[in-house]
Amino acid sequence: MVGVSAQASFDQNLVLNVKKNVVSITTRKNISAYSDNIQSFGTGFIVNKEKGIILTNKHVVGAASIASYEVSFFDGTEVDAQFVYVDPWHDFAFIKVNPKQIPAGTPKLVIAKDEAVLGEPIFIIGKNANQNYSLQTGEISSIYESIGTLPNQSYRISLNARGGASGSPVVNMKGEVVALIHSSDFDNFAFALPMSYANDALVSLLQKKQPSRKHTGMILDYYSLDRAVKYFHFPQEKVDAFMKSYPDSFNRGLRVLEIFKGSPAMDKLQVGDMIWSIEGEEIGPKLYLLEKKLNDLSKDKVKLSVYREGKLLDVEVGLYDLFKTRIKRMVSFGGAVFYERDDFIRKLTNAPEKSVFISNIKEGSSFSGRFPPIPGAQKLFIKISSFSGKPVETLDDLIKVIPELIKMKNFNTSYKNYGVYLAHDNLPVFSHSETCLEVSYNDIDGTPMVYDYDDSTGAWKGKEIPLK
């Protein structure tokens, strides 16, 4: 009955005010590294009316995608929008419209300065279940969760959020936006990114600067300190002090769950380490604060204190720029898209830097039906190693060999499948062994193209690959 009581406590004018700020977003992807090339829908809301900037999810706009966007306002007005920014790790993005096209009377929303409070009533407005401006109410049931392929601090919210609700604002009783919906279990809970993540990026963007995004390569999760005592010899006396300092943590701290191969953290941290402090400041369960401190550091190393098998150790770990691992180039060839792995694909495959992957193969094209997809998912995690004996270690290697492949017409490719496929008797295969197959190129697949992302304009530029 949480939803009923919460809904009754919200002022109707407050709800209407939020509705007038929320927008519906239609995304049409033409070329994409690993997002499906389909039309999709989501929600967003205006965070800077003067500049026409709208906040939504990365998965709504499409990660590493060449796409067009249409925004629908509360009064039914529909306008085109342009891409502004997508975060390298977290599920948020900005698009923008011409401020003059925003309907008159559209209110500004107040962004909360403080963290959400456990148990406080909230509501969301968005394209829930693909129905525009649906109202859902609930409460903040946890403020320390980490949901997603790459770690983030998320709020768990007790409400129903279905397809299309992604990008909805989470609003408290004071009318402040405290978070951005990014995922759900469809029936009982939704998960939302605290507004601090997007706020930090927006401040930089309004100053015409690229947001600072740094990391060590450690993948963190929330872990029970009682289990840490039992299985990792974490000191019991620290648990008692932790609970007094962070009563809303559900007795969970930050643990190193995985470490990126080849990252600065690889030889410095160990899986199972409990992160205790950063630059001498105790961090507790505050993952957002930890990430902010990494971003704000002016040096290229960070001092972390970790508990490892019961001992407190000081470790200095290097940092890398997350923007240097994002996808900024794609190649279209033979009806497929090729790209170099980013940190998202790195997390899923642990493939080496600059590894070339193939995706989004068009039905009936030269590469169609060649590679085994993940059962039930129709996704590919195929790393290309070579074409007819020519090594493909980077996209530049691929671009160089394409004219020769087109001239051959019939060629072979060796590859590694970082996914899983079913062999005899439906046995799953995870071996990642090198294997090969044959390809017959068909001219109807169109001219091979290379697409490069231009940081100065925020747009992709395509050009034909010379065949002579």
Of 303, 321, 339, which residue constitutes the final position of a domain?
Answer: 321
pLDDT digits (tens, 9 = 90+) for 27-46: 999 999 988 777 889 999 99
In a shared domain, residues 28 and 144 = yes
Give the residue-averaged pLDDT of 5-12.
63
In a shared domain, residues 343 and 296 = no
pLDDT for residue 231:
98
In a shared domain, residues 231 and 317 = yes
The count of structural domains within the chain is 3
CB 95 within 8 A of CB 81: yes
pLDDT digits (tens, 9 = 90+) for 333-365: 999 999 999 999 999 999 999 999 999 999 999
CA distances from 411 to 402, 436, 441 (A): 11, 11, 8
Would you give the distance in Å from CA 62 to the centre of its chain?
Answer: 10
Domain of 130, CATH number, reads: 2.40.10.120
In a shared domain, residues 18 and 148 = yes
In a shared domain, residues 255 and 333 = no
**Whether the predicted pLDDT of 3 surpasses 50:** no
**Whether the predicted pLDDT of 186 surpasses 70:** no
Cβ partners under 8 Å of residue 243, min gap 6: 249, 251
Angle at 380 between CA 374 and CA 382, to 5 degrees: 120
pLDDT digits (tens, 9 = 90+) for 112-158: 989 999 999 999 998 765 667 778 899 999 999 998 889 999 999 99
pLDDT digits (tens, 9 = 90+) for 400-410: 999 999 999 99
In a shared domain, residues 394 and 314 = no
Domain of 279, CATH number, reads: 2.30.42.10
In a shared domain, residues 6 and 149 = yes
Confidence of residue 5 (pLDDT cuts 50, 70, 90): very low
User: Which segments within 112-184 are labelled E, that is strand?
Assistant: 121-126, 134-145, 154-157, 169-172, 176-184
Percent of the chain residues past pLDDT 90, beyond the cut: 81
Q: Are strands 169-172 and 176-184 parallel, antiparallel or unpaired?
A: antiparallel
Give the residue-averaged pLDDT of 286-295.
98
Confidence of residue 380 (pLDDT cuts 50, 70, 90): confident
pLDDT digits (tens, 9 = 90+) for 61-97: 998 999 999 999 999 999 999 999 999 999 999 999 9
- Mean pLDDT over each residue of the chain, to the nearest integer: 93
Of 160, 177, 211, which residue constitutes the final position of a domain?
Answer: 211
Domain containing residue 335:
327-464
**Residue matched to tokens 């940081």:** 455
